[in-house]
Structure 1
Amino acid sequence: MEVFIEFLERIDNPLHRARTEEVLGSVTRKFPNLMPKIAWNQPMFTDHDTFIIGFSVAKHHLAVAPERVGINHFSDDIVKSGYDHTKELVRIKWDSPVDFSLLERMIEFNILDKADCSTFWRK
């Protein structure tokens, strides 16, 4: 989590900071083999130098980016969890609970789906 300290300190709203820290901490604990890093000023996790999942903070939500393939694969589950999404990210409103099970399934899917990927992003 040390890699995320500076990013977290820049989140002005203490509730948003705590929620983001909770999510990043959960991913770190559940997936210790993933590499936490900051890229494009956002926290993300990689596996063998390929992108697995990224996060960003907005005024009304925490954005989760599992790449378009992940969004497409879990679209129904995302909606069932009460989140809205675009082609590239899922929006978890600050006052909504985090569906950690869904988050973990998205990460597990990307780890398996990108096991043989040799590029940062899917091609």
Structure 2
Amino acid sequence: MEVFKEYLMSIANSQHRDRMEDVLGWIIKEFPNLVPKIAWNQPMFTDHDTFIIGFSTAKLHMAVAPEKVGINRFSDEIVQAGYDYTKELIRIRWDILVDYSLLKKMIEFNILDKAECSTFWRK
């Protein structure tokens, strides 16, 4: 979590900071082979130097970015979880729970789908 310390401290709302810390910590524990890093001022995780998932915060939500392919693959489950989304990110409002099983599916999908990927982003 040391890599995320400065980012987490920049989140003024302590409840939002705690939520983000919980999610990032869960990923570190659940997926120890992923590399945690800060890029573009956002926490993210990579596998063999390819992007797997990223996060950011806003006033009303935590944004999750599993790339467009991941959003398209899980769009029905995203809606069922009570989240809304755009082409590039999922919004999890601060006042609803994180669906860790869905998060796990998205991360596992990206790890498998990008196993042979040699670029940071999908082409």
What interval of TM-score do these two structures reach, taking the shorter chain for normalisation?
A: over 0.9
Indicate whether 1:101 and 2:97 are aligned. Answer: no
Q: Take 2:24 and 2:4, find their aligned partners in 1: how far apart are those partners?
A: 8
Structure 2 residue runs without a partner (length 5+): none
Q: Take 2:38 and 2:3, find their aligned partners in 1: how far apart are those partners?
A: 7
2:39 corresponds in structure 1 to: 39
Instruction: Report the alpha carbon displacement of residue 2 of structure 1 after superposing the two structures with TM.
Output: 0.6
Indicate whether 1:117 and 2:97 are aligned. Answer: no
Counterpart secondary structure, 2:17? helix
Mapping of residues 1-123 of structure 1, within 5 Å: 1-123=1-123
- For 1:20, the aligned partner's letter is M
Q: Take 1:23 and 1:95, find their aligned partners in 2: how far apart are those partners?
A: 15
Q: Which runs of 4+ in 1 moved over 4 A?
A: none
Structure 1 residue runs without a partner (length 5+): none
Q: Take 1:95 and 1:18, find their aligned partners in 2: how far apart are those partners?
A: 13
- How does the TM-score come out when normalised to structure 1? 1.00
- How does the TM-score come out when normalised to structure 2? 1.00
Q: Take 2:70 and 2:20, find their aligned partners in 1: how far apart are those partners?
A: 20
